[in-house]
Structure 1
Amino acid sequence: MAKFESVESYLNSLSGKSLDYVETMRSLILSLNPNIQEYSAYGLLAYKLNGYTCYIGGFTNHVGIYGPISDVIKRSKEELQSYKVSKGTIQFPLSKPLDLILIEKIIKLALHL
């Protein structure tokens, strides 16, 4: 797993649609609450608020939301049927437009907003 010293160094490692999607998700997350802390951890972008954390990352074929989100996945099971999901991962393929309404819901649940 690559380690990045900063948010900027992580973003500089991405390109194309992966970068576009991560930037879109990043803007959405930061707009939800001015107290959300953004940093790089575990080779991803991390977002923390009041002790709750979630992560986003961009890859060749998808962007994802990661972390301790198994409860979020259970609560959103119906809406996530068309996405690849595991215990702590939700993948959004680059071949589809981002569902920003769903992503906002997931982030709000993950960060307890």
Structure 2
Amino acid sequence: MATSNIDDYIAAQAESLQPVLQKIRQTIRAAAPDATEKISYGMPTFWQGTNLIHFAAFKNHIGIYPGGRAPAVFADRLKNYKTSKGTIQLPFDQPIDYQLISDIVVWRLAQQTTGGYSA
């Protein structure tokens, strides 16, 4: 189902996931208060001069997509998660580390505003 905004995206997910997705959204919003919300690649996205971060619900995890370098930069804090270039999987059987999400967004903002980011 195609959605046009983050509210619709979250409402279309399982009821049990909606509070988690809303908290991820609130965490990102707090870290990037000037970012614009949109749907990009079918996922909730925060944009500020570039796509800062996407997130999406899947069967067994929530995917966080902050760009190519984030998994390497945060490798010490991501050792218990499945990652690949630009992707972090937060499994439902582990508590969500909202502080980690916030820290990644702050890092993405710094990378974007200093021009030091590359995907």
Q: TM-score, normalised by structure 1?
A: 0.86
Offset of residue 52 of structure 1: 4.3
Q: Is the 8 A contact 1:21 1:63 kept in 2?
A: no
Whole-Å separation in 1 of the counterparts to 2:16 and 2:73: 28
Whole-Å separation in 2 of the counterparts to 1:108 and 1:56: 16
Q: Which runs of 5+ in 1 are unaligned?
A: none
Q: Is the 8 A contact 2:70 2:86 kept in 1?
A: no
Aligned to 2:114: none
Listed one character per residue, the Cα deviations across residues 34-67 of structure 1 (whole Å, up to 9, x for unaligned) are: 3111111211100012334210111221112115
Question: Which secondary structure state, in structure 2, belongs to the residue aligned with residue 78 of structure 1?
Answer: helix
Indicate which of 106, 109, 112 corresponds to 1:108: 106
Aligned AA for 1:47?
F
Aligned pairs (5 A) from 1:42-81: 42-67=41-66, 69-81=67-79
Aligned AA for 1:51?
T
Aligned to 1:31: 30
| CA distance 1:60–1:18, change in 2 (3 Å) | farther
Aligned to 2:8: 9
Whole-Å separation in 2 of the counterparts to 1:82 and 1:109: 20
Aligned AA for 1:70?
G
Q: Which runs of 5+ in 2 are unaligned?
A: 112-119
Q: Is the 8 A contact 2:61 2:91 kept in 1?
A: yes
Whole-Å separation in 2 of the counterparts to 1:59 and 1:11: 12
Whole-Å separation in 2 of the counterparts to 1:109 and 1:17: 30
| CA distance 1:52–1:40, change in 2 (3 Å) | closer
- Aligned pair count reads 111
Q: TM-score, normalised by structure 2?
A: 0.82
Q: Aligned-residue CA RMSD in angstroms?
A: 1.7
What percent of counterpart residues are identical? Answer: 26
Aligned AA for 2:17?
S
